[in-house]
Amino acid sequence: MTEKDVAKIGVFKGPSPDALHLLNAILETSPQRMVSDNQVMIILDALAGAQDPALVARFPAVLAICARRGIELDSQSLFARYWEASPKRQNLEKLLLVSAELFLRERIPAPNNLSQIAETLKARHALLLSADAVPLVNGPTVAVADMYAALKQFAGDLRKPVQPQAQAPAVRRQWSPQLERFLDLLFSDKQKELVYKRLKGHHLTKTEREYYSRVVKKKLAAVADPEMQELAGLLVPEDRRPPGGRRRPDKPLPRRKDESSKP
């Protein structure tokens, strides 16, 4: 069996180890196994009527040949020979739609026009977008996982590399000189050291992490609490606060019903 046999649609009609071997050979990127653009379209058509699920599962991998060659898919040429409700056309539509989703999922460049064709098919075959298998009319049921595996196996080299996003440089806040004095008032030297380590993203040992979580983090949470900040604002006269300190809020927090307005 040679690549010329591809022109005969019956090659892929029934389960055949030879047919599977031939298709695998065609899918390899070796230049010795080249087939014409027309033969690629014949293979797609033939797979839509094949009875072997292992063959049909390679449908998206055959589409990858189109992506490599820059072959533009033409819905007119794919569907023109079949009436709209024919089993062959239904199968082609299903396989094209699911394949388009797999290309998108794997970030593999799809053949030209595949995404546009898939858009026109979504309303008709919407349930396939969340299905685990593709039931073919008068044919086998093909697992989407097998189609996915075939695409990765034979077209993984086309996968678009994920470009790392350039991270914006961290903007460091300019802390005032009095921060050190405030920390001294609230934290011990060891606790203050852990605060600076966390602030700078330095590594903490297991013991340091546990102590930070158990003691230091709770103190910081109390300092950051809005009610605690308002309490401090009410008790510390504004003229006694350091420059740049928080202003007293215009409206205090509402008191509870059982709370007196006098201490």
Tell me the two tokens of residue 185: 């008032």
35 and 108 part of one domain: yes
167, part of any domain? no
**Residue 178 CB neighbours (<10 A):** 12
Of 157, 161, 140, 162, whose CA–CA distance to 59 is shortest? 140
User: Residue type for 132, please?
Assistant: D
Q: DSSP label at 177?
A: T
pLDDT digits (tens, 9 = 90+) for 215-261: 999 999 888 888 888 888 888 776 666 655 544 445 554 554 554 44
Find the domain containing 234 and state its range: 179-240
CA-derived radius of gyration, the chain: 34
Asked whether residue 111 falls in the same domain as residue 196, the answer is: no
114, part of any domain: yes
φ/ψ of 134, rounded to 5, equals: -110, 110
Q: How far apart are CA 168 and CA 222, in angstroms?
A: 31
According to DSSP, residue 135 is labeled E
Q: Are 101 and 21 found together in one domain?
A: yes
Does some domain include residue 163? no
94 and 188 part of one domain? no
Are residues 101 and 196 part of one domain? no
User: Do residues 114 and 96 touch, judged by C-beta distance below 8 A?
Assistant: yes
Q: Structure pTM?
A: 0.54
Tell me the three state secondary structure of residue 49. Answer: coil
Let me know whether 208 and 102 are in one domain.
no
Q: Per residue in 90-138, pLDDT tens? A: 999 999 999 999 998 888 888 888 999 999 999 989 899 889 999 999 9
Q: What is the DSSP letter of 169?
A: P
Res. 24: pLDDT tops 80: no
Name the H helices within 57-178: 59-69, 75-79, 87-106, 114-121, 144-155
142 lies in the same domain as 184: no
